[in-house]
């Protein structure tokens, strides 16, 4: 049997040949057969430039249906798709390319010069809404492509996640991992052909690329395809949709729109939130305004979605629900023993959705799995012990030093290392401060060397040239020293309470 994920989607393509798939507001409608035809032509083009099964194809492209066709083409040709946040800068890209050694790099036309300098032996092709060199090369290719036969463990994608060591790790996701999670979600959230998903998420992370589009393609429904999230546009489109997915920032921004009303969201059957904690205040305010209880779920790049509040049954604010079908989730103490409900411990997960390891990092991979094969998420949680939501998982923090800002992860060490290497800096600590819009905002506390006049502006300016701007601190504070505990570790909780009131 062919375990290629595309063959799962294909069942729906075949049944829905001329049905609409991607609805572009004020633009065109892309039908399933067009998506299948373009992905076939791109698959031929990639093979023509020398791609062979298992080769990596890196893509740093804008959100356009051409990019979706590129992802599907990679699946069909047995290539490993490597999506990259459009905000990544030169140094970040250089690392990804050196680590993943892609055969092809697909980029925006304006990035062609930069990519050419970083490409090594990779072929660089452009792609945008007008087409680009990739589509030029695909223009005369056949609209039929025999999807290659993949084994369940063959890689479908590598998605980079930052790490506590400051070095990004490529999570290797197989066809089996992606298919298992997609099937579980379609069933759990009750997707049918009649659905219209409001898709405003970026498609270079697991949430927008896998969770949202896989639910669509596996149920043969339609998606309203927004180039990026805009609260006003979203409220105006809600009456044409049945499901919306977003990070908590989307919901706080929607609440700031007077046009978000019960009437505007009448056609929606499900609002889903994830990637970062949804505050109970947001849950309550959204329910009061629209009548909808947002369904919160929990996931990770390495695992896809892990738990979800129910479609039918109580959705409990401040919890992320129960494990999805086929997954085993446990909360354990430092010795690995299970914690009873109401006791906080480390969250671990096992199942067909869990990745096989980090690309070219066998030691790191071993560290992150328990002896009996559970993946250590680095999140802390507890099983709810009270009547309301008994047996649901509640996330209570992270063992890993991680900031989540507007649904995007920032590992402080990566930013600290860059600040520490600047002239006149003794040391720094990067922390997340509470932020109404982004959940957490990145901030830095910097200790200057005597006699050096550092400024917030200069530090922010220097960082913007090096790393994606979502990682750059919104504020920089200066201090004579950093508070440390008896072990010499910087007490970030002390810094957070000191600076969150400033
Ligand atoms: C943009 N900026 C940000 C963020 N996004 N700063 C901090 N945090 C952010 N998330 C900065 C830009 O660099 C820019 O800086 C300025 O804000 C304006 O950029 P713009 O693109 O216009 O911002 P925006 O449209 O307001 O974007 C905010 C956003 C977006 C809508 C919240 O970040 C977003 O769509 N986030 C979703 C991310 C996501 O998909 N996460 C899922 C990861 P300047 O002006 O200074 O240049 S997958 C995952 O976590 C797991 C698997 C899971 O469970 O889902
Ligand atoms: P990423 O590395 O981008 O895959 O982000 C995964 C991390 O996002 C998880 O380990 C959690 O810390 C966090 N996360 C995902 N969903 C939620 C949620 N519903 N509530 C709180 N944190 C979440």
On whether both 141 and 194 belong to a single domain, the answer is no
Percent of the chain's residues with pLDDT above 70: 99
State if residue 438 touches ligand 1 by the CB under 6 angstroms criterion.
Answer: yes
The yes-or-no verdict on residue 11 having pLDDT over 90 is no
The yes-or-no verdict on residue 162 having pLDDT over 90 is no
The answer to whether residues 430 and 403 touch, using CB atoms and an 8 Å cutoff, is yes
What is the edge-to-edge ordering of all strands in the sheet holding 425-435? 425-435, 439-448, 475-478
Euclidean distance between CA atoms 16 and 105, whole angstroms:
32
Q: Which of 96, 129, 150 is the last residue of a domain?
A: 150
The yes-or-no verdict on residue 15 having pLDDT over 70 is no
Each residue of 393-437: pLDDT tens digit? 999 988 888 999 999 999 999 999 999 999 999 999 999 999 999
- Identify the CATH number of the domain in which residue 202 sits: 3.40.50.980
Which atom of ligand 1 lies at the shortest distance from residue 299's CA? 54
Taking only Cα atoms into account, the Rg of the chain, rounded to an integer number of angstroms, comes to 23
497 CB-near residues (< 8 Å, 6+ apart)? none
Q: Which residue reads 């463990």 in tokens?
A: 153
- Please state the domain count of the chain: 3
Percent of the chain's residues with pLDDT above 90: 92
- Residue of 347, 408, 463 to test ligand 1 pocket, by largest number of atoms within 8 Å of CB: 408
Euclidean distance between CA atoms 352 and 374, whole angstroms:
11
- Residue of 226, 407, 457 to test ligand 1 pocket, by largest number of atoms within 8 Å of CB: 407
Each residue of 304-332: pLDDT tens digit? 999 999 999 999 999 999 999 999 999 99
Q: Which of 261, 293, 325 is the last residue of a domain?
A: 293
- Report the pLDDT averaged over residues 246-255: 98
Secondary element (H or E) of residue 98: helix 90-100
Q: Which of 243, 266, 293 is the last residue of a domain?
A: 293
Residue 184 forms part of a structural domain: no
Each residue of 43-102: pLDDT tens digit? 999 999 999 999 999 999 999 999 999 999 999 999 999 999 999 999 999 999 999 999
- Identify the CATH number of the domain in which residue 419 sits: 3.30.300.30
Domain that holds residue 431: 403-499
Provide the mean pLDDT of the chain.
Answer: 96
On whether both 119 and 212 belong to a single domain, the answer is no
Each residue of 358-384: pLDDT tens digit? 999 999 999 999 999 999 999 999 999
Smallest CA-to-CA distance from 379 within 345, 337, 350 is with 345
Q: Coil, strand, or helix at residue 232?
A: helix
The answer to whether residues 243 and 198 touch, using CB atoms and an 8 Å cutoff, is yes
What pLDDT is attached to residue 488?
86
Which atom of ligand 1 lies at the shortest distance from residue 438's CA? 8
Give the pocket of ligand 2 (CB within 6 Å). 161, 206, 274-277, 296, 298-301, 320, 377, 379, 395, 398, 404, 409
């Amino acid at each position: 049997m062919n375990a290629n994920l595309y063959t799962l989607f294909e069942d729906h393509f075949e049944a829905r040949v001329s049905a609409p798939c991607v609805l572009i507001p004020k633009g065109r409608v892309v039908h399933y057969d067009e998506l299948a035809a373009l992905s076939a032509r791109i698959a031929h083009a990639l093979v023509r430039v020398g791609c062979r099964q298992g080769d990596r194809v890196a893509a740093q492209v804008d959100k356009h249906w051409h990019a979706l066709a590129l992802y599907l083409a990679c699946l069909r040709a047995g290539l490993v798709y490597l999506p990259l946040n459009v905000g990544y800068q030169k140094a970040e890209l250089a690392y990804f390319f050196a680590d993943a050694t892609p055969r092809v790099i697909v980029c925006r036309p304006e990035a062609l010069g930069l990519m050419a300098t970083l490409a090594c032996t990779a072929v660089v092709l452009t792609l945008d809404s007008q087409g680009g060199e990739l589509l030029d090369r695909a223009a005369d290719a056949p609209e039929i492509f025999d999807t290659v036969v993949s084994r369940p463990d063959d890689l479908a994608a590598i998605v980079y996640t930052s790490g506590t060591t400051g070095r990004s790790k490529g999570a290797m996701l197989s066809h089996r991992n992606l298919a298992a999670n997609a099937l579980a979600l379609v069933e759990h959230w009750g997707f049918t052909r009649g659905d219209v998903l409001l898709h405003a998420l970026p498609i270079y992370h697991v949430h927008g690329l896998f969770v949202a589009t896989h639910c669509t393609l596996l149920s043969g429904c339609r998606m309203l395809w927004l180039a990026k999230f805009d609260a006003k546009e979203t409220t105006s489109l809600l009456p044409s949709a049945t499901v919306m997915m977003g990070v908590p920032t989307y919901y706080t921004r929607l609440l700031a729109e007077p046009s978000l009303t019960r009437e505007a969201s009448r056609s929606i059957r499900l609002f889903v939130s994830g990637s970062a904690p949804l505050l109970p205040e947001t849950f309550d305010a959204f329910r009061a305004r629209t009548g909808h209880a947002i369904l919160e779920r929990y996931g990770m790049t390495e695992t896809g979605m892990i738990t979800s509040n129910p479609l039918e049954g109580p959705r409990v604010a401040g919890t992320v629900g129960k494990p999805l079908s086929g997954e085993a989730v446990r909360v354990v103490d430092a010795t690995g023993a299970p914690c009873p409900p109401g006791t906080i411990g480390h969250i671990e997960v096992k199942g067909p959705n869990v990745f096989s390891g980090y690309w070219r990092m066998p030691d790191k991979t071993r560290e992150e799995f328990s002896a009996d094969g559970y993946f250590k998420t680095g999140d802390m949680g507890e099983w709810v012990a009270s009547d309301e939501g008994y047996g649901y998982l509640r996330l209570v923090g992270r063992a890993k030093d991680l900031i989540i800002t507007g649904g995007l992860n920032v590992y402080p060490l990566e930013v600290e290392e860059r600040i520490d290497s600047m002239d006149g800096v003794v040391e720094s600590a990067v922390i997340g401060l509470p932020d109404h819009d982004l959940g957490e905002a990145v901030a830095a506390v910097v200790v200057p060397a005597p006699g050096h006049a550092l400024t917030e502006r200069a530090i922010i300016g220097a960082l913007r040239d090096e790393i994606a701007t979502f990682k750059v601190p919104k504020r920089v504070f200066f201090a004579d020293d950093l508070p440390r505990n008896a072990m010499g570790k910087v007490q970030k909780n002390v810094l957070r309470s000191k600076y969150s009131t400033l």
